[in-house]
Amino acid sequence: MRATRTAAAVGVLTVLAGTSACGLDGSEPHTVARKHSLVIGVKEDQPMLGFKRGGTYEGFDVDVALYVAGRLGVPRDRVRFRTTNSSVRESALASGAVDMIFATYSITAKRKTQVTFGGPYYVAHQDTLVRADATSIGNVRDLKGKRICEVTGSNSWRRVVEERRIAARPVTAPTYGACMDDLAAGKLDAVSTDDLILAGFAAGRGVRIVNAPFTDEKYGVGLKKGDLEGCELVNRAITRMYQDGTAARLLDKWFGKSGLKLTTSVPQFEGCS
């Protein structure tokens, strides 16, 4: 009799222990909301956005990432940055190599099937950069017959030539940095891509952004697919960043001298899914 009772008690205890353990573990384990430290993916070759200079990263994306991490309770010294190129962004999030991505990462319907996007923290627009003395180019339609930069692996030139059907002449270059040199050397007439990227290159080069935006590029915060809790917290952090004036200050810090029209009001969020 006593044996039966003891066995029953042990059985009950086991089940109870199991139940409570499930209750704790079941509540979204993969979230940036409750992490002690964070690994953040950024670009290393975009001046003023994500740029690696002597082992440290700097730029608007980096500063925004640090602000958001701080609002998630992770101070600067527990944040590690990792160069994450465009082609590996989805796999780096899926494998857990990085926890978040701040790397001029445009939100698109297709990417949303693989990634949960917080933000956008800024809506950039495709715009056009010309030499300061080229006054004949006022908007994208004026690129007809002009030589524009076609950067290998970038789709920006297609948006002019294929989507806008403007008969510009693409000239290939390996990077946007090389485009800038070609523009200065007179081998090109214009460079057309995201305005923040252009602004990053523009400072002190004798060039001008025409301020005629023709697309919306929603720069989102890449999170592991399904991390809704983290995504909601990231959105609250971005809301606060615009409310407390940090966003305006950071935009001015990195792009204030570029002559670009900046938006300092919070963007419309994509919604966590």
Q: Which is nearer to another protein, 192 or 235 (CB)?
A: 235
| Shortest Å, Cβ 271 to another protein | 5
Q: Which is nearer to another protein, 42 or 209 (CB)?
A: 209
Q: Which is nearer to another protein, 111 or 187 (CB)?
A: 111
Q: Which is nearer to another protein, 183 or 238 (CB)?
A: 238
| Shortest Å, Cβ 2 to another protein | 10
The C-alpha atoms of residue 174 and residue 207 are separated, in whole angstroms, by 20
| Shortest Å, Cβ 22 to another protein | 7
Task: Tell me the residue type at 62.
Answer: V
| Shortest Å, Cβ 187 to another protein | 26
| Shortest Å, Cβ 96 to another protein | 22
Task: Tell me the residue type at 117.
Answer: F
Task: Tell me the residue type at 61.
Answer: D
Q: Which is nearer to another protein, 37 or 113 (CB)?
A: 113
Q: Which residues bind another protein (CB under 8 A)?
A: 1, 4-6, 8-9, 12-13, 15-16, 19-20, 22-24, 26-28, 109-110, 112-113, 139-141, 158, 162-164, 213-216, 228-229, 232, 235-236, 239-240, 243, 263, 265-269, 271-272
| Shortest Å, Cβ 67 to another protein | 14
Which residues, listed in sequence order, are joined to residue 19 by a DSSP beta bridge? none
Q: Which is nearer to another protein, 20 or 95 (CB)?
A: 20
